[in-house]
Structure 1
């Protein structure tokens, strides 16, 4: 990944992205060519030297059966959005501005391990479900978090037979937080204000990220 110096994030920011991301693309080079599946992953910091991303996929998905040539990769994404030059204060001065795209992403590389083991997969599904159900409960005015134990045991057993566990044991991470760090302060503030006012999907989260990761962003009053 091409990462200019001003878009290189701190290690704690990358770890936060891995902990809090949603679904990501698992990509493998195989004898059948490139294969990719969008999967929800959980970050396990205690697996291996650099941690691991753990998930599961449908047993009917042939990707897990194909031998991986070299490393596998998971593309993790944070918020992203189009940035219009109209938000830049310097546009009014000299018009030497162009549109761009702000985003947060990480390419996570490592060895792909398949866990054709119902116990391992059940533990992963419980962990994944508990995290997202807790987040749902925190934002909902009603409804207790759902748990695997609420479903009939025989039903869960059948569901587990239909999936296999996958684990990317991380060897390295290349991350890029492109958040207007190469712009003067007045332009950064314009980007934050513009994103918050536009209010499309990801705009609010991206505005917060620009403010958090950009030393030129003003502290909100």
Structure 2
């Protein structure tokens, strides 16, 4: 990932925070039939390995896991993103030398991907994913709420994945390369947007 120093994220806690906030990742692999990519919910076990380990699952019918050798995979986590209009820059009125760009956050996690279909491990992954995303709901659904025979059938339809992270790259492009006046203009312009992602980006821009 191209990442100028002004946008680079290097602190492990910050990288993990961006990954947790993204909630969904694109898992990219290369096999005999070429490139594959699947959007998957993953959870991060921060205590397993120097950079953490990712867990999730594929549908058993998904050809990606069948066509992927036990080699490196790439998990791409994207945060909120937004188009940046030059009209928001204070410097537009001063000299007009401005162009559009895009603000966004992204983390690339790579490592050797592994697959498993042991029922106990699969259930653990499903439970951990479910608990993670149900935690803030007023009425929490638990995996144990489903009938046991039905659950066993569902687990037979998936393949678990484990990705111990060996490399992390993070980028947080939020107009850091612009003047304080330009950043303030971008934040103000995005804050009034009808797009939720643009409003989210507005809150991440440091205006002072």
Q: Which of the five TM-score ranges fits, normalised by the shorter chain?
A: over 0.9
Shift of 1:40: 0.5
Q: Which residue of 1 aligns with 2:198?
A: 203
CA-based RMSD of the aligned residues comes to 1.4
Q: Give per-residue Cα distances to partners, 1:56-79, cap 9 Å, x unaligned.
A: 110011211223374210111000
Q: Give per-residue Cα distances to partners, 1:163-194, cap 9 Å, x unaligned.
A: 01111110001111111000000111111111
Give the SS at the match of 2:47.
coil
Q: Which residue of 2 aligns with 1:5?
A: 5
Q: For the Cα contact (< 8 Å) 1:51–1:170, is it kept in 2?
A: yes
Shift of 1:126: 1.0
Is 1:182 aligned to residue 177 of structure 2?
Answer: yes
Q: For the Cα contact (< 8 Å) 2:71–2:113, is it kept in 1?
A: no
Alignment partner of 2:166 out of 157, 171, 174: 171
In 2, distance between residues paired with 1:37 and 1:136?
26
Q: Which residue of 1 aligns with 2:140?
A: 145
In 1, distance between residues paired with 2:90 and 2:70?
49
TM-score, structure 1 normalization: 0.89
Q: Which residue of 1 aligns with 2:90?
A: 89
Give the SS at the match of 1:167.
strand
In 2, distance between residues paired with 1:184 and 1:10?
23
**Unpaired stretches in structure 2, ≥5 consecutive residues:** none
**Unpaired stretches in structure 1, ≥5 consecutive residues:** 138-143, 212-216
- The runs of at least 4 consecutive aligned structure 1 residues that moved more than 4 Å come to none
Q: Which residue of 2 aligns with 1:25?
A: 26
1:1-221 alignment runs, 5 A limit: 1-11=1-11, 12-68=13-69, 70-137=71-138, 144-211=139-206, 217-218=207-208
Q: Give per-residue Cα distances to partners, 1:72-111, cap 9 Å, x unaligned.
A: 1011100001010111111111111111000000111101
